[in-house]
Amino acid sequence: MGIEVRQTLVAAAETAGLTYVTDAVAGITRKRVGTGFAYYAPDGMLIRDRAERRRIGRLAIPPAWTDVWICPDPRGHIQATARDAKSRKQYRYHARFRALRDESKFGRMLTFSEALPRLREQVEID
């Protein structure tokens, strides 16, 4: 990841009142147990706390995903990463981070739509 992209993500996380995190640090892991899953803190201890288990459950990580990493900080801008069935990396972002990024993305659509007619004219000329 480039420095400019990282700086943008750090700033977005801070604007949303969150902490910029990466899955390069130790996180919560998931292991299949019977028909469900057990979750282990970065120190290897089984997570039994109900509030923490509810937070993890709300992330709705599909059972088929592997190599699951869950952020130990409930205020981390990335809440979880994992690999899907095709080994593609998938992300679960904090709701506030996602809302901020969506607002930023869709906010630029108006500017783009205003510029589009001129772009089309130039393409026709070229």
* 123 DSSP 8-state letter: H
Q: How far apart are CA 56 and CA 124, in angstroms?
A: 52
Top-confidence residue, 62 or 123? 62
Is the overall model pTM greater than 0.85, yes or no? no
Residues recorded for the chain:
126
Top-confidence residue, 89 or 116? 89
- What does the block give as tokens for 32? 């299949």
Q: What band does 107 get if pLDDT is binned at 50, 70 and 90?
A: low
Instruction: Give me the domains of the chain, ranges plus CATH numbers.
Output: 3-125 (3.30.66.10)
Mean pLDDT, residues 38-49? 98
Whether 106 shows a pLDDT value over 70: the answer reads: no
| Amino acid 111: pLDDT | 78
Top-confidence residue, 3 or 59? 59
- Give whole-number Cα distances, 106 to 7, 78, 81, 109, in Å: 20, 21, 24, 5
